[in-house]
Structure 1
């Protein structure tokens, strides 16, 4: 029998202490735990965050959605030479440094193939786990997704995999005709509010943005829903890493 509520956590980006703090608000007896993706990159401890999220998935049945940063890491592991520069530009060096426990400067002396091989030796479960992360989750009247869905389609489920994890403006500003409220991360809400000091949740047209800039000195957000309603919101303040 499914749980009556869901506890949905926004983009973590390696902010492991904020994750630990917000999980104290989760009631695992009554709430399905859901992560919207982007567990890694940019923050100071992506390895610890990955291990925590993976353990919650394996041991507590947490739903772990695929974010664009998980896809970037998976693409790098699958084709290191082709994708290393792109992954580096998106904060991947900090994640690799955490996983291999070596300084970032040292990583840059290694070949892409060597880095990928050592990551997979260190975390042998990682590649397979990343490759099976789902793109969306539905709970009652809600859709939970990393970036958004293609609202030009008659059936939002036909959204391309790329758009589920990368879409921005075409989703934010197109009318939501899905009949569902859509909870998403990916785009920091400061950008949606057009105010870089506003770390609040963004809500418009039955769309709820919960990437409240945890890795940018903002907050890590979780919301609690039942089948029809947002019941509660929690936010943990973070401090931008130097």
Structure 2
């Protein structure tokens, strides 16, 4: 492999994702693509993004699970009201379900009614759900660790709960002092250094979530060169 290309937090933005892959001249026979999670929610085309991710994985891409996949799994595979409403009402789950052809009348439970989890039937959704349930939480190489949110600064990664790897924020990026460089998404880089560009921290952390779904940009980090590619949102 000549290059490693890392992308995170696509959030249903299929056009930006495909443009970025074109801009970097991605070639699965020469490049190692690593995707750090959050393929779904908020953006309009989560279904198409997952279809693309599945295709890319079949050609050799390494694909991790993000916290939005975690929320989607919990909402769709349990009967817990809090998981359902948290995903649908607060975290963009409704746009994900709409991308599979469902309407609000099929999945929104009125606040004044007793909660009964909506029954949704879609072979494609079931297939995609099975796919994301089986994704890994981190990739560790000689010099790098790739993870969705970050690592616990005081725990070996192999002993760290998957929840932490998908959800941690400030405790990680303010206190990490390990020898390997951590490449992560989850926390928009604008919160780390005020812009949507890739964040290169002094403590060997590299944040790549450019907040594409919030009007920012979708970033790609090339390794080992540290070259940066990005496509800007038109929102």
TM-score, normalised to structure 1's length?
0.87
Distance 1:112 1:122, change over 3 A: farther
Structure-1 separation of matches of 2:74 and 2:186: 18
CA pair 23-132 structure 1, distance change in 2 beyond 3 A: same
Query: For residue 144 of structure 1, what is the aligned residue in structure 2?
Result: 146
Once residues 142 and 225 of structure 2 are traced to their aligned partners in structure 1, the CA distance between those partners, rounded to angstroms, is 11
What secondary structure is seen at the aligned counterpart in 2 of 1:221?
strand
Which residue number in structure 2 is paired with residue 69 of structure 1? 68
Structure 1 segments, 4+ long, off by >4 Å, are none
Superposed displacement of residue 80, structure 1: 3.7
Q: Provide the C-alpha distance between the structure 2 equivalents of 1:104 and 1:42, rounded to a whole number of angstroms.
A: 15
Counterparts in 2 of 1:69-218, with a 5 A limit? 69-82=68-81, 83-88=83-88, 89-99=90-100, 101-104=101-104, 106-108=106-108, 112-115=117-120, 118-119=121-122, 121-153=123-155, 155-177=156-178, 179-193=179-193, 195=194, 198-204=195-201, 205-218=203-216
1:43 paired residue number: 43
Gaps of 5+ in 2: 111-115
SS at match of 1:22: helix
1:53 is matched with 53
The offset of 1:212, in angstroms, is: 0.6
Report how far residue 71 of structure 1 moved. 0.6
Return the offset for 1:44: 1.4
Distance in 1 between residues matched to 2:47 and 2:72, nearest whole Å: 13
CA contact (8 A) 2:7 2:36 kept: yes
